[in-house]
Structure 1
Amino acid sequence: MNPVRRWPLHPQPSLLESLSSWLDRLACLYEMPVKDLLTRNLGLVDLDVPADLDYDPPMAGLTALAERTGVELARLRAMTLAGWEPWLFDKLTVPIQATQPMFDAYVRDNSVLLAPGEAGTNQVNRWKRWPGPWLGYWPLHRACPVCAADPGRGRTLLWRLPLMTGCVEHGFRLEDATAVELQVTLGGEGPAPVPLEEPLATVDRYTYEGLTTGRVTLPGRSVHAGVWFRLLRCLLDEVSLSLSGRSSHGRATLEQVWQAAGREERAGLTTWRPYEHLEPSVQEAMLHAAGTALQLVADGTVIAFGRLASTLRREHRHVYDGDRPSPHRSSWQEAMAEMEAALVLARTDRDAARQLLILLTLGCRTLDRFEEERAFLFGVGVPAEFIPSARELGRTDLV
């Protein structure tokens, strides 16, 4: 059997580029439609090419692309939204019966500004279905004016989601991609790029760090990217809540956040709706308020009571440098090696993950402490669906 031959021209994808963008650039080199590139030229004449190549394209096509271009299959998968399970999405496609439980698990089981359980019980699918975290109801087609001028850059995948407001590399706001591309094509001057202001720029830097390194360095401590995405989504939910029904501390905190943001309270919302259902201008106002809240908590101006609040609070304390390490393997080192082995297994085995959580939470007496252990496992790469809740483990003893 003859080995698969590489295509003669196959430029590498740029950082965080979408699959559709990269395929457009490849097809342009060969002067053919993308559909022909993905069927006849991959030896997959019957391949069903989806309209949205960035969502969840067929694995057969990705495998063949990896063989023809030398780009690793894992990287090609990460150029699609499906490739960001479970870090950005627990599941990309949410069955209708799982919509509310998914929202509760991703958003409401966490807390930042407000005390655990204070966010309320708003239902997400009463009038129209919630598509899942970050999957906006209003489609976004955006580009950075500076990136668009470079034909080797392509389009960034996650700019299509209401997750970022600007281009971190160049520091400019994202603009309508059609207008930007037309300006580049015609070679006109057009409007000057607009710098992205704070605190939106800080939120984007955290998100970009998570997307590119897998971790985010917050004022309190470094967290896994998946924890950051859920923290931010929880914060966006909290700042969207009405003041009625909150504790006196909750009301005062939310009022202070919106006043510091300099925007209308709740961005003018009179009826609660999930972030994904909001119009883009309202989403940006919510991101602005969330970024303001991050600053206020880090500075100590606002005291946050949520489970994830400690990740945002700056702590100043001396840390002992430690004794000179022994050349012999210590019991602690052996324990750490056993723990790492358990984590490796838990990342691929649901039962092993369950047993590890049970072991880690044996001494937990409060729900907050239990949730910290769950967050730890998620933060070190154990899939979210492998980590049961306290209720699922029957831990009715937690307070």
Structure 2
Amino acid sequence: MSPPRRWPLHPQPGPLEALSSWLGRLAEPYEMPVHELLRRDLGLVGLTLPADLDVDPPMTMLAALAEKTGVDLARLRSMTLAGWVPWLFDTVPVGVQDAQSVFDAYVRDNSVLFARKAATHHVLRFKPEWAGPWLLSHPALRACPDCLADPDRGLSLMWRLSLMTSCVEHDCRLLDLSEVRAARILGRDIPRELLPTPRAALDRYTHQALTTGRVVLPGRSVHAGVWFRLLRSLLDEVSLAASTQGTFGKAVLQQIWQATGHEERAGLNVWRPFEQLREDVREAMWDAAATAFQLAADGLITARGILGSALQFQFPYVYDGDEPSPFQRAWQDAMAAWEEALTQARTDPATARQLLGMLTGGCRTLDDYEKERACLYGEGIPAEFLPSARELGRHTRCRSRSREGVEVLCEREPTAAAGEALGMKS
């Protein structure tokens, strides 16, 4: 007699639960270790299972799990880090030889506060090697004490990343997992710590990105992949020394750090990627990033980067009681037509190409061309629908500035479009 196709007991995964956490809950009723359950009951005797099941487990294992539990294969894949490529990551894991290029594409090819990109730092010279965005060199698993009290919730995959610092559902700071478990065993009260409002706002945006795929920012709605890279670039920019910036950049950095109440750069003397900083320095960088976001949203600083417009509302408020003028009605009709065109361009390459051609008709530099291209990408149009300057026949018209400030014709393909540099697909 053949064994049953489905396991009799298979609890459903919780929201954003990590695969290893769910497998632990699956194995518990059967009173066996997870790897033994997988090898014996999934028929994977000859398959080598990775030590960390949350990174990139074999598809053979996930397919067998889907058959045994009835959980959709795509849902199982999203419970791993590799399942968040290309939204949250460009690639997982990041090889040592690829660390610099991944860092440049994910962090430095984007900008929020500053129009001029900062000089690239060589992440390869730091030890231990940079593992990728949001992946700490010395990870410490954190947890929400309220979520952990629910036996049906499990551990969130995002708790192992430096992406969020609070639980949005319970409005409390994430705590060290071992400390929470020890306190529960000893029957001690676990103090709940609230995050400052600007910090909590960033986490709410991130949670929205993780659960809906888009984020409604003060300036405009953006794809989740744009938000993750915007946030990581903002953390990078506030970590820079004022000496790397011009007059405007220096003033902005000083204003941000003064508003946080921290020492500038949290006393950081030698730049390191965010993921390799000490915990107290990372906390200060989060404060600075949240403060910068709030200052930009309030119009107290100007975000000049290619993604900066997402932080700031672009149009003035009009008193609701006034009778709309003919100009306003025409503007509203034009905006409605624009939104309709954007909606069509998200699924139609020809419309996307036509919109890009219209927006870039007067562009004189490749930077201007890439800004318009990134704007359409930020509106949810797939990167592959947006041709490069050469593909659109703009490469002979757009100019590129040399380091000496002299404009020269650009006869080469740009290294990467702003949208494609994100490594995203809608």
Return the TM-score normalized by structure 2. Answer: 0.81
Cα deviation per residue 1:356-393 (whole Å; 9 max; x = unaligned)?
A: 99868763434144234245347637479x98876999
- C-alpha distance in structure 2 between counterparts of 1:334 and 1:249, whole Å: 36
Letter in 2 for 1:96: V
SS of 2:170 mapped into structure 1: coil
Report the alpha carbon displacement of residue 46 of structure 1 after superposing the two structures with TM: 1.7
Q: Does 2:148 correspond to 1:139? A: no
Kept in 1, the 8 Å contact 2:345–2:381? The answer is: no
Q: 1:235-287 CA deviation, whole Å, 9 max, x = no partner?
A: 11110000113111100000100111111111110011111111222112111
Query: Counterpart of 2:325?
Result: none
Cα distance in 1, alignment partners of residues 20 and 383 from structure 2: 27
Alignment correspondent of 2:252: 253
Structure 1 counterpart of 2:278, one-letter code: E
1:349 alignment partner in structure 2: none
The amino acid across from 2:75 in the alignment is R
1:338 positional shift: 7.2
Compared CA separation, residues 336 and 389, structure 1 to 2 (3 A): closer
- Comparing 259-268 and 276-285, the one that deviates more: 276-285
Give the drift of 1:175: 0.7
Q: Which residue of 2 aligns with 1:350?
A: none
C-alpha contact (below 8 Å) 1:116/1:307 kept by paired residues = no
Distance of aligned partners of 1:159 and 1:252 in 2 relative to their CA distance in 1, 3 Å threshold: same
Q: Distance in 2 between matches of 1:47 and 1:227?
A: 37
Deviations 1:302-334, CA, capped at 9 Å, x for gaps: 1221111110112434575549x9xxxx9x979
Report if aligned partners of 1:142, 1:175 keep a CA contact under 8 Å in 2. yes
Q: 2:347 is paired with a residue of what secondary structure?
A: helix
Structure 1 counterpart of 2:238? 239
> For residues 133 and 165 of structure 1, what CA distance do their matches in structure 2 show?
15
Q: Which amino acid aligns with 1:101?
A: S
Q: Root-mean-square deviation (CA), in Å? A: 3.1
Find the aligned partners of 1:235 and 1:389 in 2 and give their Cα distance. Answer: 26
Residue 313 (structure 1) aligns with: 312
Provide the C-alpha distance between the structure 2 equivalents of 1:338 and 1:91, rounded to a whole number of angstroms.
Answer: 27
Mapped to 2, the partners of 1:301 and 1:261 lie a distance apart of: 14
Does the 8 Å CA contact 2:56/2:82 hold for their aligned counterparts?
A: yes
Separation of aligned partners in 2, 1:232 and 1:238 = 10
The change in CA–CA distance for 1:387 and 1:88 in structure 2 (over 3 A counts) is farther
Contact 2:183 2:190 in 1 (8 A): no
Q: Residues 22-41 of structure 1: matches in 2 within 5 Å?
A: 22-41=22-41
Partner residue, 1:198: 197
CA distance in 1, matches of 2:391, 2:271: 29
Deviation track 1:19-73 (CA, whole Å, cap 9, x = no partner) reads: 0110111111221110111111112212222111110011100011111111111
Using a 3 Å threshold, how does the CA distance of structure 1 residues 217 and 40 change in structure 2: closer, same or farther?
A: same
Q: TM-score normalized by structure 1?
A: 0.86
Structure 2, gaps ≥5 residues long: 319-327, 401-426
- Please tell me whether residue 224 in structure 1 is matched to residue 223 in structure 2: yes
Q: Which amino acid aligns with 1:94?
A: V
Using the aligned pairs only, state the percent identity: 55
Unaligned runs of 5+ in 1: 345-352
Does the 8 A contact of 1:113 with 1:306 survive in 2? yes
Q: Say how many residue pairs are matched.
A: 381
Aligned to 1:286: 285
